[in-house]
Structure 1
Amino acid sequence: MSETNPESGEKKSGDIAGEFRELGKNLQSLIRSVWESDERKKFKEELQEGLSELGSMVNETASEIKNSQTGQRLKDDVKDLRQRVRSGEVENKVREEVLSALRTVNSELKKVSSRKPGGDESKKE
């Protein structure tokens, strides 16, 4: 069993739970002092200012692009695409391309499946 030191009231050995409690108190104290430190508060303010400046710069750049000739062209292209999607033009074009691809695949598969196994092609190799 463990013995108690009469001078300090601490156990000499075997009090793992007590050591964990002490560790917890020390960590709590350390975290609290770091959280309340001036350095952490200063870092937080600098981070907030930096993020605010970044946001302003992104908004400014987006506004410049939006009002530029390139931005206007992009806006017009998106508007045109939206109109073509609504009118069914894009759907029809996609449908035509898919049908064409499927026909090509089916045609090639028919050619391959109609070949006789062991025919002239195998002898050439």
Structure 2
Amino acid sequence: MANPTAITLHNQSRYLEIAFDDGATFNLPYEFLRVYSPSAAVQGHGPGQETLQVGKRDVGITDLEPVGQYALKPIFTDGHESGLYTWQYLYELGQNQDTLWKDYLARLFGAGFPGDTGRMPGTELPGAAAPHQGCGHHH
């Protein structure tokens, strides 16, 4: 199991940089961390119980509290502070970031929040190219 060697908060660009002793380095956007919080409030109590987090594009982290030698507890600007991010969880988030991010975007899009994300620069939402048509009154 890899352990972190450096953790840096980039508050201007809103991402957490974490380097591990196996050479891996991940840049995890605050929004990404927030919407994939391991807390029960977000994850629910089993598969399919997740609560979709919306409006987190501009979320910040005001503090990172170490939890023993195994986890971090970020304090987010929206008041969320119940997530304990273990080193392993952070590593998995980093490794699966592309897939998880696409899944999050797809769920946002499916829930009708297509623009409600701090998506990575240069990426577009599925169907973002299509202009919004009317108010849904199709006859």
TM-score by length of structure 1 reads 0.24
**Which has the higher Rg, Structure 1 or Structure 2?**
1
Q: Larger % of helix: which?
A: 1
TM-score by length of structure 2 reads 0.22
Structure number with higher relative contact order (C-alpha < 8 Å, ≥ 6 residues apart): 2
Q: Larger % of strand: which?
A: 2
